[in-house]
Amino acid sequence: MPDARVVVTTDLLLEGRHFRRDWSSGYEVGRKAAAQNLSDVAAMGARPTALFLGLGLPADTDVAWVEDLADGMRDECHIVGASVAGGDIAQCDLVVLGVTALGDLGGRAAITRAGARPGDVVAVTGRLGWAAAGLALLEAGHRESSEPDLARAMDEVIGAHRRPAPPYSCGPEAAALGATAMLDVSDGLIQDIGHIAAASGVGVEIDPAAFEVPGPVGVAGRFLGVDPLDWMLTGGDDHALAAVFPVGIGLPAHWTVIGEVIEGAGVQVDGRVYDRSGWNHFQGKL
């Protein structure tokens, strides 16, 4: 790192908790494992440079599956110009991936969760609700349909669950625009924005009218009888970016302002506390 400033993040993926091998290929698990860590680096305003993998495997794991996993990680890293630089491997009852990612700040200070101030605006970029819709379809046993529109929607949202598409370049972009706080949305928009509110000592008001439901997410919602806005507000694994900006900054069109920072604490949606907030590993859906 030219100026000795580096960001680092680490994350776990556990078989049965974050992925299922009967739902996702080794290649898709590799892409997902890399993506969720590279996204965390981007969310601090840095450029991802390297991943390190701690891998636990059952003794009977097919070597071809492991090779596909490595290919997936390599291809996801290629998007941002990073590489898999090393790691370790051990026998384990389930497949476990512990990924550590490094990033270069390019001389800038890191964007943390603690800089939001009352009067700032909250904006998001990237997909919201896609992965949650895909997971809901898989959990309900729906993977295909003879109805063309539904079949296309299923393919898109299930694909989003298996392999997220984080808006990597938007992290450094937000930093250059003057973002005061930022994170990636991995456990649900309300819950993750709540981390910014807590770290910054403020409240956040979200306007539900600011959200436009994507077509495939809406189709999946109608099929399952679910309000797709709930997936967008509480669903994780899309790894969109949520950032806070001083009011008056002209944001590019791919950023959508969804709320504002206020005095107080916590996150409200349309003036009230939402029924659920997102995923907590020790309590399940909150």
Return binding residues: 9-11, 18, 40, 87-88, 113, 184, 186-187, 237, 279
Q: What separation in angstroms does the CA of 228 have from each of 139, 141, 232, 239, 263?
A: 16, 18, 7, 17, 29
CA–CA dist 41, 38 (Å, integer): 5
55 CA to centre of own chain:
21
- CA R_g for the chain: 19
Kindly report the number of other CB atoms within 10 A of residue 60's CB atom: 5
Task: Look at phi and psi of residue 6 and say left if phi exceeds 0, alpha if psi is from -120 to 50, else beta.
Answer: beta
CA–CA dist 94, 110 (Å, integer): 35
Residue 40, φ and ψ in degrees, nearest 5: -65, -35
Annotated binding-site positions for substrate? 18, 237, 279
Annotated binding-site positions for Mg(2+)? 9-11, 40, 88, 184, 187
Annotated binding-site positions for ATP? 87-88, 113, 186
